[in-house]
């Protein structure tokens, strides 16, 4: 089971509003939308692999980074 941690986020108001509209369109909470965006970016960049599409947990690929 994944642990959740509270995190204060400073974000541009326009970006926050656009993300909130996107979350509403996708029927997600703003928090869930931000997690979705971050998780998708991590997977696409090869930093983590999605272990199961239905679950939000991710697994590190390796300690070596591609720079």
Measured CA to CA in angstroms, residue 57 lies from 8, 9, 39 at distances of: 21, 21, 9
Q: Is residue 67 part of a domain?
A: no
Better-predicted residue by pLDDT, 52 or 10: 10
Number of folded domains in the chain? 1
Q: Is residue 36 part of a domain?
A: yes
How far is it, in rounded angstroms, from Cα 57 to Cα 46?
Answer: 15
Q: Is residue 1 part of a domain?
A: no
In tens, the pLDDT along 21-47 reads: 999 999 999 999 999 999 899 989 988
Better-predicted residue by pLDDT, 1 or 22: 22
Domain that holds residue 47: 13-60
Give the global pTM: 0.69
Give pLDDT, residue 67.
56
């Amino acid at each position: 089971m994944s642990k959740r941690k509270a995190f204060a986020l400073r974000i541009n108001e326009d970006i926050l509003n656009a993300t909130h509209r996107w979350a509403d369109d996708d029927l997600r909470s703003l928090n869930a939308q931000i997690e979705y965006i971050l998780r998708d970016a991590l997977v696409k960049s090869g930093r983590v692999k999605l272990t199961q599409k239905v679950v939000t947990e991710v697994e590190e690929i390796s300690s070596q980074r591609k720079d």
